[in-house]
A = this chain, B = another copy of it.
Amino acid sequence: MTAVDPDREDVIVGELLGAPAYVSGEEIARRLRISRTAVWNRVNALRRLGFQVESHPHLGYRLVRAPDALLPALVSHGLVAEIVGRRILHFEELRSTNDEAERLARAGAPEGTVVVAERQSAGRGRMGRAWVSPPRKGIYLSVILRPAMPPSRTAFLTLCAAVAAADAVRRCAGLRASVKWPNDVRLGGRKVCGILTELATEADRINHAVVGVGVNVNHDPADLRGLEATSLKIESGGEVERVGLARALLEELDGGYAALCAGRYGDIVRRWLEVSDTIGRRIRAESLTGERLEGVATGLDEDGCLLIRLEGGATKRITGGDVRII
């Protein structure tokens, strides 16, 4: 487990990524106001992280290849976000990014902190289910948020995250994902992304929220055997660059969270309805207590709960559990 301090290599990766070819050590040193020895030290630190950096006695440094890893230095390069991703912590392996984010949140980590892992040994989905997390094939990240909203409204966090994931997939893989209430992002009816929102609350306020997002990016069919799931690679026929996708995801999450914090619930519902494939469909819902309901999904209520119209015409509110489109 290596947590990378974003204050260390970030800046220099920025200099190298932004450059057309070689950048002289002197120029980097001047721009970053550090010594040339410090530049050299940081370049070596990057190399240890798997960056291939050429150095030339006269020309300086040139980034040849970045590692296939969701390193803070890479993900945060060019990231346009206010809160989400302010600080990114990267781990080769975690049991679960939500567990680590939860631990950090309790220890006082600031809002917007993102925990990323290349693999999870005990990745979790909703309702205690497992989330398959093979190394370097997916995006497994969790965001710490501290929204000043009543706990009853937190379904919106999940809705926001689902919309953000669908948007990021469209931006980066050109695939039109749809969202099944509350939190499954799907391609052709198969799950490509899941959201696990966990909260620590007092009865009437949220202490912190951890929004976990798992995306099946470059999973091969063998990785997903036996699951009703797919990956961006399977659907698009080619590998998808994870760093760009992670960055897009954080940006979309940030935008959605800003809307939420500003109380623009209507905007979130509107965006969600655009990407949802649930509304207007006949669904079967099973509640957490095992109660079953069947009817037509008609919309969301003010708390983000799903409304369904039953046979007899009555409308019921679904707060959780499993929903199946039939």
Residues of A within 8 A of B (CB): 126-127, 148, 150-152, 154-155, 157-158, 182-183, 196-205, 207, 288-289, 303, 319-321
Q: Would B200 and A320 count as touching, CB distance under 8 A? A: no
Which of A152, A183, A204, A289 has the most C-beta atoms of chain B within 10 angstroms of its own C-beta? A204
- Please tell me which one of the listed residues B150, B196, B205 contacts residue A202 in the complex, with CB atoms under 8 A apart: B196
Q: Are B203 and A200 in contact (CB under 8 A)?
A: no
A205 and B152: CB pair below 8 A?
no
Question: Chain B residues with Cβ under 8 A from A148's Cβ?
Answer: 288-289
Taken together as a complex, chains A and B put the C-alpha atoms of A201 and B204 apart, in Å, by: 13
Given A200-B198, A200-B199, residue A127 in contact with residue B205 (CB < 8 A): yes
Contact: A202 with B319, CB < 8 Å?
A: no
Q: Which residues of B are found within 8 Å of A150, using beta-carbon distances?
A: 288, 319-320
Q: How many copies does the complex hold?
A: 2
> Chain B's nearest CB lies how many Å from the CB of A285?
11
Q: Cβ of A154 and Cβ of B203 under 8 Å apart? A: yes
Given pairs A155-B203, A157-B203, 19 additional interface contacts (CB within 8 A): A126-B202, A148-B289, A150-B319, A151-B152, A152-B152, A152-B303, A158-B203, A182-B203, A196-B202, A198-B200, A199-B199, A199-B200, A199-B201, A199-B202, A201-B201, A203-B320, A204-B320, A205-B288, A205-B320
Residues of B within 8 A of A158 (CB): 203
Distance of A200 Cα from B183 Cα, bound (Å): 19
Whether A204 contacts B321 in the complex (CB less than 8 A), given A151-B151, A152-B152, A199-B199, comes out as: yes
7 contacts between A and B (CB under 8 A): A127-B202, A151-B152, A155-B204, A182-B204, A198-B200, A201-B201, A204-B320
Task: Give chain B residues whose Cβ lies under 8 Å from the Cβ of A152.
Answer: 151-152, 303, 319
Contact status B205-A197, CB under 8 Å: no
CA distance A84 to B288 in the complex (A): 23
